[in-house]
Homo-oligomer: A and B are copies of this chain.
Amino acid sequence: MSQEPIMDVAHLGHLELLTPKPEESLRFFVDVLGMTESGRKADSVFLRAWDDYEHYSLQLTAAKTAALGHAAFRARSAQALERRVKAIENSGAGIGWVKDAYGHGPAYRFRDPDGHVIELYYETQWYQAPQALRPALKNQAQRYPARGVNVRRLDHFNCLAVDIQANREFFENYLGFRLTEQIVLDSGEEAGMWLTATNKSYDFAYTKEAHGVKGRFHHITYALDSREDVLRAADIFLEAGVPIETGPHKHAVQQTFFLYVFEPGGHRVEVANAGARLVLAPDWQPIRWSETERKKGQAWGLKTIETFHTHGTPPLPGQSPFENETVEQDDLSEKGIAS
């Protein structure tokens, strides 16, 4: 008999994004994406989509440069959290406990092999909608906002990493994530990985960092109900003057119907139809895409746009559509972003 799967991580909980333009970023997420502010603390504003059950799924923090603050996963139980913390401590990747987190209980903080800060927590604060935002149907967290893009819930995130294989093995071995799809170059080097802890076909992805800089972030994705919702989002982004990077179109990998834009702080933001596609098989065999297959472009033939391989946050000099936003490596270390 093969080993039993580790089921200790329940789902992606939230992301903290650092932004050099906190007010403009906030306006983007609230007015254009249709999110709701659910709290403030120090330099951070907490935001939620209408179907997120927890208090928030996005923490926007004012900072000198755009970067991932941290990504947080919720454990399946208190015992599951204990087991994972013990495993991570043994791996040497641990940073330690955060006791006073906003909106959830104690969180264990650690670094993945590329230096991104990740948290794991179990206790959490369920969202209680104020009167004005109470939904008509009691099985829904919050009223449908009917404003802007109306994103439904946090879906996934994507980081860049210098060594994909090392990160894949870390998340598989210490956290129990399951690989559903990957890109493997002709050289045998892994160039992309999509992992899940749920029946969604991925909860996050890491793709190859081309510039050797660790700790960079690629994009955050909010889910919409249908492909038509994504097309309507494109109309709304166009009207709002939000720069569209690429899409709407359908990825060959994972078949996600995607649309990528840039928020004012410089982060790439995706809205995607996270529709009916689920991975139900407990023993799903990872789909491996070769270099040749990836060169065919997206599902319906769109060529992958160049900035998709180069732009991340923090942006690098000469590699970004936001040239004047790039930062020195010093700033990254100061913010504790890059190891």
Interface residues of A (CB under 8 A from B): 1-2, 4-5, 7, 10-11, 51, 53, 74-80, 135-140, 143-144, 146-149, 152-153, 181, 198-200, 223-228, 231, 234-241, 244, 246-250, 252-255, 257, 273-278, 280-284, 287, 289, 293, 299-302
What is the CB-to-nearest-CB distance from A221 to chain B, in angstroms, rounded to a whole number? Answer: 12
Pairwise interchain contact A282-B77, C-beta atoms closer than 8 A: yes
Residues of B within 8 A of A252 (CB): 137, 139
Residues of B within 8 A of A274 (CB): 276
Pairwise interchain contact B2-A276, C-beta atoms closer than 8 A: no
Pairwise interchain contact A74-B147, C-beta atoms closer than 8 A: no
Pairwise interchain contact A74-B282, C-beta atoms closer than 8 A: yes
Q: Select one of B79, B223, B280 contacting A10, CB under 8 A.
A: B280
Pairwise interchain contact A238-B78, C-beta atoms closer than 8 A: no
- Of chain B, the residue at the smallest CB distance from A139 is B287
Pairwise interchain contact B275-A225, C-beta atoms closer than 8 A: yes
- Of chain B, the residue at the smallest CB distance from A134 is B239
What is the CB-to-nearest-CB distance from A248 to chain B, in angstroms, rounded to a whole number? Answer: 7
Q: Select one of B235, B275, B280 contacting A275, CB under 8 A.
A: B275
Listed by A's residue number, 13 A-B pairs whose Cβ atoms lie within 8 Å are A4-B80, A7-B7, A10-B281, A10-B282, A77-B282, A139-B252, A139-B255, A146-B236, A200-B278, A223-B276, A234-B250, A248-B300, A275-B275
What is the CB-to-nearest-CB distance from A237 to chain B, in angstroms, rounded to a whole number? Answer: 8
Pairwise interchain contact B239-A143, C-beta atoms closer than 8 A: yes
Q: Chain B CB within 10 Å — which of A226, A235, A302 has the most?
A: A235
* Complex Cα–Cα for A139 and B180 (A): 9
Pairwise interchain contact A153-B276, C-beta atoms closer than 8 A: yes
Residues of B within 8 A of A149 (CB): 146
Residues of B within 8 A of A249 (CB): 248-249
* Complex Cα–Cα for A68 and B181 (A): 37
Q: A5-B76, A139-B181 are in contact. Are A53 and B226 (CB under 8 A)?
A: no
Residues of B within 8 A of A302 (CB): 302
* Complex Cα–Cα for A148 and B302 (A): 22
Residues of B within 8 A of A153 (CB): 276, 278
Q: A4-B80, A238-B300 are in contact. Are A278 and B225 (CB under 8 A)?
A: no
Residues of B within 8 A of A5 (CB): 76-77
Q: Select one of B53, B138, B300 contacting A234, CB under 8 A.
A: B300
- Of chain B, the residue at the smallest CB distance from A243 is B301
New A-B pairs, 13, CB < 8 Å, besides A139-B253, A226-B228, A247-B300: A11-B199, A11-B280, A137-B238, A137-B299, A146-B240, A147-B147, A199-B200, A200-B278, A225-B276, A226-B275, A231-B250, A234-B250, A273-B276
- Of chain B, the residue at the smallest CB distance from A300 is B234
